[in-house]
Every structure is written in C-alpha cells, then in structure tokens.
C-alpha cells in the first residue's frame, strides 16, 4: 500500500458491526424457520425473517443506553445490504430508493409491533401473523414454533453480555 493511499484511506467505523450483521443474516436464513415455521421461502419471506431477527437484536440493545450508536450502525448496514440485494436482482436505480424507503418503514413497523409483543403479556402470535406471515396464517403448529423460537432467541440474547452480542455472538 502506498504512502498516499494509507494517508487518505478512511476506515468505516461500522465495520466493527459486520460480524454481528452477518450472524443476524445467517440466523434469519436457518432452514428451521422455513421448514418447521413455514415462513415463506421467498424474497419477502427472507426479508421478513431477517428483519425479525434484527429487531430482536435491536430490542436487546435498547436496554444498553451506551449502545445507541451501534444500533444505528447496524440499521445502516441493513439498509446498505438491502440496497445491494435489490440492485443484484435487477431493480434499477430509479426505483431502488422507493423500495428502500418501504423496507425502512417495514423495519420501523416491526420494531413498533414486536416491542410490545415481546413483553411477558404481549401478543407475539398476532404480531407474527401480521408482520412475518403478512396475514396468511401458516397453521397453529408453525406459528407456535416461530413464537417459541423467537422468544427463546430473545431470552438467549437477554442472557448474553452486550459485548458478546456486538462481537457477533448470537444464541442458537
């Protein structure tokens, strides 16, 4: 690397969040969500599942007041990844921004829906039907499976130190 390139190279502070983001995506792509949980194995279904996992992590980080910046970076990485995914499947520049806006709105809606749903008396089942299954009920067994799995995932997150999560450690 030349002197000038080292001098002008800027590292992205968000890079420290990549192991966590990659772990979130890997968790959202695990086959059990799509087999036992009957989440639709489509672009929308995968987006919804990854968004659900991301929301669980963001909700966990909300409990750490000194981790707000990391939550922002994680959300920014998600948006950039979705932008790249849209472009990769052939969505043109003129429309990508509109799709990203809808995705950000969807992520915000899921935060608003899953936050109270994850409370002890919260109705996660109804939130999942609206947000993960988009109103198409997959059947009681699949819905119960995803509800139990997400509650277990969140309990695992709650039991982990924030530093371990930020390093990319997620409960299985």
Evaluate if residue 93 carries a pLDDT over 80. no
Q: Which residues contact 25 (CB under 8 A, 6 or more apart)?
A: 50, 81
pLDDT score recorded for residue 141: 97
Q: 48-52, 65-69, 111-115 — which is least confidently predicted?
A: 65-69
How large is the average pLDDT for residues 66-87? Answer: 82
pLDDT score recorded for residue 91: 64
Q: Cα separation of 124 and 50, whole Å?
A: 17
Q: State pLDDT tens for residues 4-59.
A: 555 555 677 778 899 999 999 999 999 999 999 999 998 889 989 999 999 999 99
Q: Cα separation of 45 and 53, whole Å?
A: 12
pLDDT score recorded for residue 99: 63
Q: Cα separation of 6 and 9, whole Å?
A: 5
**Which residue shows structure tokens 């809808």?**
102
């Amino acid at each position: 690397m030349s002197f000038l390139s080292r001098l002008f190279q800027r590292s992205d502070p968000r890079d420290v969040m990549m192991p966590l983001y990659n772990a979130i995506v890997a968790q959202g792509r695990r086959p059990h969500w799509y087999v036992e949980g009957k989440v639709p194995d489509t672009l929308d279904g995968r987006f919804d599942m990854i968004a659900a996992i991301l929301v669980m992590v963001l909700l966990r980080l909300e409990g750490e007041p000194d981790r707000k910046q990391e939550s922002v970076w994680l959300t920014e990485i998600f948006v950039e990844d979705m932008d790249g995914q849209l472009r990769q499947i052939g969505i043109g520049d003129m429309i990508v921004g509109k799709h990203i806006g809808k995705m950000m709105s969807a992520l915000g809606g899921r935060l608003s829906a899953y936050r109270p749903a994850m409370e002890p008396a919260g109705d996660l089942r109804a939130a999942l039907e609206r947000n993960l299954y988009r109103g198409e009920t997959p059947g009681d067994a699949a819905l119960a499976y995803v509800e139990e799995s997400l509650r277990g995932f969140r309990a695992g997150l709650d039991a982990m130190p924030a530093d371990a999560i930020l390093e990319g450690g997620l409960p299985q």
